[in-house]
Amino acid sequence: MIIRQALLTARQEKEIQLKMLITRGESVQRNTSAEGVPAVQKQIQELKDSWDALLSASIQCKRSILKNHSQTAFWYQQYKKEVVPKLAVMQNLQCTQH
């Protein structure tokens, strides 16, 4: 839970920084000669695209983690339902043999 909160906080901070950079880039673009505007626009778009790719990757990671957690929980429930009772029976048999 602590790690998740730290990651969420870091994401929010980086999102604020991203918005500040985009705003700064747009300001630079307004004060740039006509020849330089396409280069600034390209850099702003690359920054936005990189952020989108990072968010997409983080969503995929989250889905994978949730899927793995779900599978782990399922297998643990199966273990408790099937293996634990058998272990208890084996322990009882060992106790009665002594």
Q: What DSSP letter does each residue of 28-82 carry, written as one string?
A: HHHTS-TTTHHHHHHHHHHHHHHHHHHHHHHHHHHHHHHHHHHHHHHHHHHHHHH
What is the length of the chain? Answer: 98
86 inside domain: no
78 inside domain: no
Task: Quote the number of domains for the chain.
Answer: 1
Q: Which domain holds residue 29?
A: 2-71
77 inside domain: no
pLDDT given for residue 25 in this prediction: 93
Residue with tokens 């300001």: 27
* Tens-place pLDDT, residues 17-76: 999 999 999 999 999 999 999 999 999 999 999 999 988 988 888 888 888 888 898 888
Contacts of 91 (CB under 8 A, 6+ apart): none
pTM of the model: 0.62
Backbone angles phi, psi at 58, to 5 degrees: -70, -35
Backbone angles phi, psi at 36, to 5 degrees: -90, -15
83 inside domain: no
For residues 65 and 60, what is the distance between their CA atoms, to the nearest angstrom?
9
pLDDT given for residue 33 in this prediction: 94
